[in-house]
Chain A
Amino acid sequence: MREIRFLATDRAALFWLGIAVLVAGVSVSLGLREIATQRALLNELIEVDRAEREVAMANYRNWGDTAYYTFHLTYDSPSDFAFAAHGQRDTSPWKHRIRALALEGQIYETDADNPDFALVGRFDFGFAANMLAPLLLILLLHDLRSAERAAGRYELLSAMAVSRGSPWLARASLRVGALMLCLIVPLAAGGLLAGTGVSDVALASLVVVLHIAFWWGVCAGIDRFGWSSPVNLTTLVGAWLALAVVVPAAIEISVKAAVPLPDGGEIMLAQREAVNDAWDLPKSATMEPFVQRHPQWADYTEVSQPFEWKWYYAFQQVGDQTVEPLSLAYREGRMERDRLAGMLAWLSPPALAERALQAIAGTSMAASLAYEKRVRDFHTVLRAYYYPRLFRDEAFSDASLGQRPEFHAAGASWCLCTPTSHPQQRSWRTSPSLPLEGARGGVEKRCSLPFLGGGPPARCAEALVRAKTRATGCRWAKAYPSLKWHQSPCGAIPRRLSRAPPRSLLRLPGPSLHVRA
């Protein structure tokens, strides 16, 4: 109690705490504003993109042109905690416009902000809590004992205390606690405004508390030497410099050296060569590698004219296939770098805390790679939608166009499955919707689904897939066109089920879904 009174009259301490609360408050409000801007931008883009697609729809009446001229906006919506740590959203792309051409030529486009900004970085809560707060703590604690010592009161105070160190412990813990509150209260307020889940805010607060506690330990450790205040402060700032800057820089250099990445420029050059060489090669040079990956189109590879759309899209696909090893190495390298950095970050608590906040906020490198994966998955589904139409030369119709996949933000991407009209193949054409969310890099072999034969209305199928996915969390594999569905025994589904199928239906023994990579 007495210590609280001391703190309340200690102008220097109040000053540092005031700065802490100011910095945290400003960073949270700036973060909220930034995320609101991003949301508004996305909403606008989604609208304009839809309008553009409708224009393209009206202008082109064949599958080849439609696929060529129709772009799809893909994006990574900010999470409701992204205001606290912008992370990779500053430098990595979180929105693309994708079309059914070779993906490797599109996915590396970066729609970045002013490069001067990315260079400096944003003033987000992560920066305030992980970089500035330790310095403020250092300023709060560095002269706790040494000031009393300089004033000649140290021995007296120590002698009067019940146990050695107790007045200092109480005083220090009070200051540390106050600083933690100064950071967490604005964060929680921001969380409340952004509608963040309680668990996220709690977890982030825990990160902040642990990180500050670490720095308290450092301060206490330096304090033991009994140096004067300026020496204490210099040493502590030096420790901050070492842990927050020098160690991360060393980690960065060693991680980059340990995990070399293929040069991005090489991927692009190789991709372009593969795509453009196709024009001068015999058609079979394109169709053979294409069919290897998509055997179901083996019967449709006859190209009689110098230019046919199916051949055009086939060589786009082959272009991607050609650079796949490089592109995969680039992605895996980044993943590996991130994994390694995550391990080495234990050497630098500020870096560790920042990574933890970014992980909670969904703005980490892993989240950025996951978004890239979603774009790739969407592109695969988009291709899978066009291939049957191009290869079988299906008639262009608005109804068929209506089944085209649409990109949805994470957590809400569904595809719908409609049976193919081809009687022999018994394969099901995937179009908009195998739930891409949660799809993993590998391919899941079997995944049961109470299916729906007899050609139920598409909507009904979609609702079922959706409901089933929700109920079981069943992860869907890559939506390859080589999906093979077995006819289901359960026959037609009553129409009224199209919205909310009863659980009993979901528990029906379903047929299996086989996926070939």
Chain B
Amino acid sequence: MTKRLFAMAREEWRLWLRSRLALCTLLIFALLVTSTGIATALRMSSEHRERTEQQAVAEETFLAQPDRHPHRMVHYGHYVFRVPPPLAMIDPGVDSVTGQSMFLEGHRQNTAMFADARASVELGGFEVLTAALVYQLFLPLLLIAIGHGLIIREREENTLAPLLAQGVTGVELYAAKGIALAGVALALLLPLAVMCAAAIGQGAALRASAGVMGLYTLYVLAWCSPILLVSTLVRSRSLAVGVLTLFWLVAALIVPRIAVESSSAAIPTLSKLETDLSMQAELRKVGDGHDAGAPAFRQLQANLLAQYNVDRLEELPINFRGVVSEVAEAGLTEVMNRYAEQRMALEARQAHFAASFGWLSPVVAASAGSRALSGTDLATHHRFLREAEAVRIDFVQSLNRAHAEQVAHGDDINRSVDSESEQRARISARNWNALDEFSFQPTAAGERLARAGTPMAMLFAWVLMLTAAGILAARKMRP
């Protein structure tokens, strides 16, 4: 029985090999996916190298700064770069639309800058082609082109009746054709497998790479099943190809954008500027750390004086200005983080909402899953923002502590007007070592797989439902 199925599938493959159209489309696809794959891989590996280098340079320059007033270093700031994970060569994800570097400084949370998309050219929306996109959008077209006639052809060439008369059941025929189509589809995943292997060679997690392969396997099967279903149900080739092209048009081009539109309508977020402006009032309550005399710090002053049992700020064993800087920074950060977390939560909800359109289109499910597994999704970007913030608050606060402990109050208040105080208010460059080394690591494979769970379940549901429907239709197959 299995033998017979494979014999029938083999027949189909032989037919495709003889068909110029099928060969042409296969060849074009192979060419397209190889060239975009190589282009993406080259781009991402050069990005990887550049950003790693820039990160090292940023750290070196920070450490190489001369003796300074610690607050100068707070404003001198630091840069962190988001290094793309190895699997980004398959799916760069949000890498090109979010900035790749971020400036960290005191009192502010900056946005990531220099999104690649800004320096890109505008050519209609599909100009940045990646291997993932080629698989997600264009593999289905190829499968439609070669697969829509699988069963209809037997019907149109009047070979269906003899086949059924020979004792081949409809389900067997369906299975054989399914094996034929899925066989080609899986063979087309070969370039992807090569890319995954290359990514593993560059240090990608084995499990995540296997996840990518699994996801795309499910994805191509999710396209094979409707093609077989339509081919079983519909009696004319031109109708079948029309219906399938419409399905592709809706699933690949329309639903993803409708998902974006409805998600942005359903879950409105505040823009960065709005957030900045709306937290201004709260930030003022915390007080400006540059102004130790501000009313916001009166209580702090009184507490400190009482704690050390002295009457005047000058008598404190620590520098009150430094203390104010530290307290103000902590307060600011608390407010800023609250807003940032709110914003990230909303964005995550938006992404989740948009991804739920995967129930309507396998393309949406596959792209969400692919980004998650490649470690280039929104959640990874958010982790970058959080880790960068951790680095920021860490070095800023250790500088503020040095400000409080190592700079004499008298020198500090006179440093703007007196050169000698200015010199004395500098602290040793050894303090700059407080800066933590930053290297953005790919998300753990387990977490990525977990995030890709829902999209994979969606794809699985697509395969299951459409295959079940196809088998049902095949059972009732009549010549």
A: residues with CB less than 8 A from B are 12, 19, 23, 26, 30, 33, 41, 44-45, 48-49, 52, 55, 73, 87-88, 91-92, 95-97, 105, 108-123, 126-127, 130-132, 135-136, 139, 143, 146-147, 150, 228-231, 233-234, 237-238, 241, 244-246, 248-249, 251-253, 255-256, 261, 263-265, 268-269, 272-273, 276, 279-280, 305-307, 330, 333-334, 337-338, 340-341, 345, 348, 350-351, 353-355, 358, 364-365
- B122 lies within 8 A of A88 (CB): yes
**Cβ of A19 to closest chain B Cβ, rounded Å:** 8
Contacts A265-B54, A365-B122 known; 15 new A-B pairs at CB < 8 A: A108-B114, A110-B111, A113-B271, A116-B94, A116-B351, A116-B377, A146-B238, A147-B238, A248-B124, A251-B121, A252-B121, A264-B114, A268-B114, A269-B58, A305-B416
- A95 lies within 8 A of B129 (CB): no
- B149 lies within 8 A of A255 (CB): no
A306-B416, A350-B124 known; A268+B113 contact, CB < 8 A: yes
A15, B81: Cα distance in complex, Å: 50
Does any Cβ of A come within 8 Å of B237's Cβ?
yes
**Cβ of B89 to closest chain A Cβ, rounded Å:** 15
- A131 lies within 8 A of B114 (CB): no
A346, B253: Cα distance in complex, Å: 23
**Cβ of B132 to closest chain A Cβ, rounded Å:** 11
- B119 lies within 8 A of A334 (CB): yes
**Cβ of B220 to closest chain A Cβ, rounded Å:** 18
A135-B249, A146-B238, A249-B36 known; A355+B111 contact, CB < 8 A: no
Q: Which chain A positions have C-beta within 8 A of B249?
A: 132, 135-136
Residue of B nearest to A111 (CB): B272
- A116 lies within 8 A of B66 (CB): no
With beta carbons under 8 angstroms apart, the residue of B25, B117, B149 that contacts A118 is B117
**Cβ of B250 to closest chain A Cβ, rounded Å:** 9
Interface of B, secondary structure class, is: helix
A244, B112: Cα distance in complex, Å: 31
- B260 lies within 8 A of A120 (CB): yes
Q: Which chain B positions have C-beta within 8 A of A255?
A: 121
A45-B277, A146-B238 known; A130+B124 contact, CB < 8 A: yes
A23, B246: Cα distance in complex, Å: 13
22 contacts between A and B (CB under 8 A): A112-B98, A114-B264, A114-B347, A116-B260, A117-B350, A121-B125, A123-B261, A132-B249, A147-B238, A231-B21, A237-B145, A244-B126, A248-B124, A264-B114, A269-B79, A272-B103, A306-B419, A307-B417, A334-B118, A341-B122, A351-B123, A353-B124
Q: Which chain B positions have C-beta within 8 A of A126?
A: 124
Q: From residue 414 to 452 of chain B, which have CB atoms closer than 8 A to chain A?
A: 415-419, 421-422
A30-B261, A115-B378, A122-B261 known; A109+B113 contact, CB < 8 A: yes
A194, B360: Cα distance in complex, Å: 32
With beta carbons under 8 angstroms apart, the residue of A41, A150, A248 that contacts B274 is A41
For B, the interface residue count at a CB cutoff of 8 angstroms equals 98
Residue from A234, A305, A365 whose CB has the most chain B CB atoms within 10 Å: A234
A193, B81: Cα distance in complex, Å: 45
A116-B351, A122-B257, A241-B138 known; A355+B123 contact, CB < 8 A: yes
A229-B238, A231-B21 known; A338+B122 contact, CB < 8 A: yes
Residue of A nearest to B381 (CB): A115
- B237 lies within 8 A of A230 (CB): yes
- B81 lies within 8 A of A265 (CB): yes
Does any Cβ of A come within 8 Å of B39's Cβ?
yes
- A249 lies within 8 A of B124 (CB): no
- A276 lies within 8 A of B72 (CB): yes
Does any Cβ of A come within 8 Å of B190's Cβ?
no
Residue of A nearest to B239 (CB): A12
A113-B264, A305-B416, A358-B122 known; A52+B280 contact, CB < 8 A: yes
Residue from A88, A112, A280, A333 whose CB has the most chain B CB atoms within 10 Å: A112
**Cβ of A283 to closest chain B Cβ, rounded Å:** 11
* B 87-113 to A, binary, CB cutoff 8 A, 1 in contact else 0: 000000110111111010000001111
Interface of A, secondary structure class, is: helix
Does any Cβ of A come within 8 Å of B386's Cβ?
no
A230, B152: Cα distance in complex, Å: 12
Does any Cβ of A come within 8 Å of B269's Cβ?
yes
Does any Cβ of A come within 8 Å of B453's Cβ?
no
- A111 lies within 8 A of B271 (CB): yes
A118, B116: Cα distance in complex, Å: 12
Q: Which 10 A-B pairs have the closest CB atoms?
A: A264-B114, A229-B238, A341-B121, A248-B123, A249-B129, A307-B416, A123-B257, A351-B123, A306-B422, A115-B94
- A123 lies within 8 A of B61 (CB): no
Does any Cβ of A come within 8 Å of B32's Cβ?
yes
Does any Cβ of A come within 8 Å of B166's Cβ?
no
Does any Cβ of A come within 8 Å of B276's Cβ?
yes
Does any Cβ of A come within 8 Å of B115's Cβ?
yes
* B 252-266 to A, binary, CB cutoff 8 A, 1 in contact else 0: 011011111101110
Q: Which chain B positions have C-beta within 8 A of A26?
A: 258
